[in-house]
Amino acid sequence: MTVITCIDDLKQIYRRRTPRMFYDYCESGSWTEQTFRENTTDFDKLRLRQRVAVDMSGRSTASQMIGQDVAMPVALAPVGLTGMQHADGEIKAARAAEKFGVPFTLSTMSINSIEDVAAQTSAPFWFQLYTMKDQGFVSSLIQRAKDAKCSALVITLDLQILGQRHKDLKNGLSAPPKLTLSTMADLATKWRWGIEMLSAKRRHFGNIVGHAAGVSDAANLGAWTAEQFDPTLDWDKIARIKEEWGGKVILKGIMEPEDAEMALQVGADALVVSNHGGRQLDGALSSIRALPAILDAVGDRTEVHIDSGIRSGQDVLKALAMGAKGTYVGRAFVYGLGAMGQQGVTKALEVIHKELDVSMALCGRRRIDELGRDILKIPADFEGRWAE
């Protein structure tokens, strides 16, 4: 049995066990992947200040995100097709998050449906909404999330149109995978995935198939998705969705202070500084570089969260020290899930928790609310000096 000490260990196992098409779907960014790469390498540019002879007893990583208690401020980000990375992936990830005491966010484009996850968990989860042209379908998703007692609606704002990932086109990504000679050859080496998938509750998009008009099977789903994402989404529509939902709203995909200001005006309970893990606008700044300007603009008027590029507890620590109130991991939990199912997601959370706890202590801090920019060494040009 391999000893797992870091997120990269889980990634190596995930890569061996998961069909190529789904590994590539996860481990890619759009176009040249510049933003995807810089999301992680820019975390490395921040350094931590080691402090000594500080009492480290009585430490805690407990905190709150949107008023909810969390064992550490690290939520699971919404990830489409999670149930293709591992059989019943969304249910397993949600259960791991619940046991650990961190929020789980279910994607609109999940394989397990809202109802599937609600039936298999007891802690409320968050639902991520993509806005679609079919307003009736959007309203029905909102109602289903309310019925499932979801405790926040995460509205993703950066995917009105899809950024291109070359590998998905070349691999013919679909759920379930279409059986071609090359996928069959690949699946032959991923037999464990195949056997588990045979008993999975679902193998197609559970929130959509059978719920949205004109979609009865996965075959026409790709075309439907491309047609259905709403290119006319604007702040008025976001305000209307917020009103229809009536509960806590998190706006995901904010990269510029002007948009943060708009998010405040529609009354967001939190915003997420995110470039979608480098999957949308290639050439955008990494999230961690975009974060300080947004924090400076927002002040304490709402909570600022961040995702994109977090692969360790040290990354979480840097984001929190910069001023974020919460963080999300996408790929880091998918690696665990693909490697070892629910146990692997738990392992990913344990790894991140331990790294966060020990690194925080080595910086001389015992609690999340003691973190500040004074534990960081920030390069003078970190945010970049750009011509106006």
Choosing from 14, 23, 25, 100, the residue that interacts with ligand FMN (CB under 6 A) is 25
Q: Does position 79 bind ligand FMN by CB under 6 A?
A: yes
Q: Which stretch binds ligand FMN (CB under 6 A): 93-101, 133-141, 291-299, 305-313?
A: 305-313
Nearer Cβ to ligand FMN (54/162): 162
Nearest Cα residue to 252 out of 166, 112, 131, 348: 131
| Coil/strand/helix, residue 250 | strand
| CB-CB contact of 276 with 307 (8 Å) | no
- CA–CA distance, 10 with 350 (Å, rounded to integer): 12
| For ligand FMN, the closer CB: 262 or 352 | 352
Q: How many CB atoms lie within 10 A of CB 137?
A: 17
Distance of closest approach, residue 162 Cβ to ligand FMN, in angstroms: 11
CB 89 within 8 A of CB 112: yes
Is 277 a binding residue for ligand FMN by CB under 6 A? The answer is yes
Residue 309 as a binder of ligand FMN (CB under 6 A): the answer is yes
**Per rule CB under 6 A, is residue 117 in the interface with ligand FMN?**
no
**Interface mask toward ligand FMN for 127-146; x: CB under 6 A:** -x------------------
276 binds ligand FMN, rule: CB under 6 A = yes
Listed ranges 52-60, 89-97, 235-243, 271-279: which one lies at the site for ligand FMN (CB under 6 A) = 271-279
Answer yes or no whether residue 80 interacts with ligand FMN by CB under 6 A.
yes
Quick check: 73 binds ligand FMN (CB under 6 A)? no
Residue 285: DSSP 8-state: P
302 lies in the binding site for ligand FMN (CB under 6 A): no
Of 244, 300, 243, the residue nearest 267 (C-alpha): 243
Which residue is closest to ligand FMN by CB? 330
Identify whether 276 is a catalytic site residue: yes
Q: Which is nearer to ligand FMN, 79 or 97 (CB)?
A: 79
For 381, residues 6+ apart whose C-beta sits below 8 A from its C-beta are: none
Q: Which is nearer to ligand FMN, 316 or 371 (CB)?
A: 316
Question: Is the Cβ–Cβ distance between 353 and 99 less than 8 Å?
Answer: no
Alpha helix ranges (H) inside the chain = 7-17, 20-26, 34-45, 82-85, 89-100, 114-120, 135-147, 166-171, 181-188, 191-198, 221-228, 235-245, 257-265, 287-298, 313-322, 331-362
Question: What is the nearest approach in angstroms of ligand FMN to the Cβ of residue 78?
Answer: 4
When binding is defined by CB under 6 A, the residue of 4, 66, 288, 310 that contacts ligand FMN is 310
Q: Does 353 bind ligand FMN (CB under 6 A)?
A: no
Residue 30 binding ligand FMN, by CB under 6 A: no
Backbone angles phi, psi at 385, to 5 degrees: -110, 105
- Of 86, 276, 305, 353, which is the active-site residue? 276
Q: For 345, what's the count of Cα atoms within 13 Å in the CB-facing half-sphere? A: 31
Residue 3: CB minimum distance to ligand FMN, A: 24
Choice from 18, 30, 68, 107 touching ligand FMN (CB under 6 A): 107
Contact 146, 245 (CB under 8 A): yes
Write the CB contacts of 341 (distance below 8 Å, at least 6 apart in sequence): 86, 87, 92, 196
Residues with catalytic roles: 276
The site for ligand FMN (CB under 6 A) is made up of 25-26, 39, 77-80, 107, 109, 128, 156, 252, 274, 276-277, 279, 307-310, 329-332
